[in-house]
Structures are given as structure tokens and as C-alpha cells.
Amino acid sequence: LLALVALVGRVASKLVFPPGSDIGYIVPDAAAELEISEAMEPATDPQYNSLLQQLRINRRTAREERHQNAVDYEQLWLPHQLRDLVATPDNTNSAINSALLPSSLHDEKHGVVMGVANKYCDDAKSNLLMDWDYSPANYTCYTPRYSLPLSPDGAPSTLTCNTPPSDYMPQHYCMDTPITYSSAIPSHGDHRPLWPQFGEYKFVPVQRWLHSVEHGSIVMLYHPCARPALVDELRTLVTGCLYKHVITPYSPLSHRRPLALVAWGCVLEMATVDPQEVVSFIQQKALQGPEGKLRKQGLFTEGLVRPSIVPEGKLDDGLTLCT
């Protein structure tokens, strides 16, 4: 993956340690680019290797041309067949990196095949800072004396549904590409190729759990300052209802409604826990989405504190809901 980043100009310098030495050197971008890309293990796809080599040659030439003439750098080194994939300047890097992936990692529906850990795109271990800077603010309550909701009676729950068209298919983006969302609590959207293992987390980024939602999971969110008794009550209902769940703190939640359940296309925000309302939401909204019946376990486990277990009395199929 670092080799791809270097090829599109994101690496300005690199700390390099010569063999047998514990002294590192800051190498300028040209040398860093060559050191990273040429040390990369050969891919098994000949077409990929050929294109990679073409980009190396083109970029060297482009760098020389740029110093000699005031011309558009990107237009020089980017091959026309890749330029045609770029719709806007904002997604240039994404289009290039997707095109450079070995053909075995391409997927017609999602752009990048799901559920396959690989160094070129997503192995659920590398470059995780792209989605989360590991700030404790995502899972820590800094005002424990004022647990949420502040009002004794809370506020009425709100159900917001925005189900995508039946032919909608979210895209998968590699770990070199940021993914942002227009809503505070998205219920569908582009995400990472590898989804979380079912269970409860110290914190899991939205770019991961949205993939779980596409697979029919229920995602339980709670504000770090939500009253522990409310969180426990909701957790008991969710874990007792279905195996396919993800539970994580989520600071963007409203102070008035510090609890939420997310399913494909729908979000239920709550100030208190109404068991009947929660069970009804899970029964009606779980296992929906383009791959709602998929039972395959996720490969992302960063921050996992409690793996999911099959609820007592339920079938071991991941598709049996509370009754």
C-alpha cells in the first residue's frame, strides 16, 4: 500500500535505515519513492506489474519535465487510461489506487472485493489512523457528574429512515483514501472492505461498522456520557436479540438522545430504553440491505472487548432474531 501512496505523490520523505545500521536518514521524495516501490514484493498479476512499471518510468520523466517547463505535472505522468477514470480532482487518488490493484482484488459491484485482507488495500491492521486518531474522546466521558440525558424524562425517541434504492451499492475504499459522511449517524454509505467481527468494542470507526450495517447487522451506539444503567439495559436487549451486532461508543450522538440503533437505511435515536420499541426495531430492520443475510464473520478486531455469542435459545445461524 505504501508503494501506491508513493506513486501518487503522497510521500514527501521517508526515514530509511541502511542494512545493519541503527542510524536512520531522512530521504527526499524521489529516493523515497524508488526505495519504497522497488522494495515492494512482486505482485502475481502481470498486468498490474506492467502498469506499475509504466507509472515509475512516467513519473521520473514527468519530474524532469516539470523542472524544465511549467506544465501540468499530473497530465504528464498519469496514463490516459487512468485519467479517463478520474471524474473530479477530489477522487483522483482513489481512482488511481483502485486501478492499480491486482485484478484479483477488483469487484464489479463494490470496486474492491470485500472480506479479503491484503497489503495493497486493507488488512485491518495497517494505516488505521486514516479513520481514527485513537483519541480517548471517542470513548471517554469527561463530565461524569452530568450523565446523559440531562432531563429526567428524556425526550421522545426518533426514527429516521432513508432507505437507498434497491440498486444502490456502496463502494469499498482502501486505507489510503478518507471516507466522510454528510450525516452525523449514517445508515448507509461507502466503507472499508473489511468489516468488524461481531461484538462490542472500545471504539470502532463508522467507516467499519457501516459495512456491518450493509450485512444486516444492528449497530448499537451510545454516547460516552450516557447513563451506564441505560447502556446496560440496551446492551442486554441487543445481545439477546441477535448474534450479528456491533456495539461501540459514539460521541456525535445527541445529548438529548444519547442512545441509538442503526440498521440498513434507518436510525432509532433514544433518550430512554423502551424494550418493546427496541425489539420491534430489531425485528423489522435487522438483516436488511444488499447483503443482509450474509453470515460471514468480519476480520477487523481492533478494540474488540467482547466477541458476540449466539443468544440463548437461538439457532447458531446468525439469522435468528428475538421473538
The model's pLDDT over 250-265, given as tens digits with 9 standing for 90+, comes to: 999 999 999 999 999 9
- Answer yes or no: are the C-beta atoms of 120 and 1 closer than 8 Å: yes
C-alpha–C-alpha distance, residues 303 and 200, integer Å: 9
Q: Which of 315, 142, 154 is nearest to 234 (CA)?
A: 154
Average pLDDT, the chain: 78
**How large a percentage of the chain has pLDDT more than 70?**
68
Rounded to two decimals, the pTM is: 0.71
Residue 223: all three cell numbers together: 454516547
Q: Which of 229, 67, 241 is nearest to 219 (CA)?
A: 241
- Average confidence (pLDDT) over 104-114: 84
At a CB cut-off of 8 Å and minimum separation 6, what does 299 contact?
Answer: 115, 117, 124, 194, 195, 197
C-alpha–C-alpha distance, residues 311 and 282, integer Å: 14
Partnered with residue 158 across adjacent β-strands are 269
Cα 240 off chain centre by: 26
Output the CA torsion sign for 102, 108, 111, 112. negative
> Would the pLDDT of 289 be above 70?
yes
- Average confidence (pLDDT) over 31-55: 48
Give per-residue burial for 209-221: e unless 16+ CB within 10 Å, then b.
bbbbbbbbbbbbb
pLDDT at 146: 85
Beta strand pairing call for 218-222 and 13-16? unpaired
Higher pLDDT, 16 or 242: 242
**How large a percentage of the chain has pLDDT more than 90?**
50
Across 142-146, 255-259, 280-284, least confident range: 142-146
pLDDT band at 7 (very low <50, low <70, confident <90, very high): very low
Query: Would you state the torsion angle of the CA atoms of residues 30, 35, 37, 42, taken in this order, to the nearest 10 degrees?
Result: 160
pLDDT band at 280 (very low <50, low <70, confident <90, very high): very high
Partnered with residue 226 across adjacent β-strands are 148
Residue 284: all three cell numbers together: 423489522
> Would the pLDDT of 267 be above 50?
yes
pLDDT at 47: 56
Residue 114: all three cell numbers together: 470485500
pLDDT at 99: 57
- Average confidence (pLDDT) over 127-151: 90
- Average confidence (pLDDT) over 264-269: 97
> Would the pLDDT of 52 be above 60?
no
Beta strands in 104-206 (DSSP E): 106-107, 111-112, 158-161, 199-201
Across 86-95, 99-108, 145-154, 213-222, least confident range: 86-95
Higher pLDDT, 296 or 14: 296
- Average confidence (pLDDT) over 91-114: 68
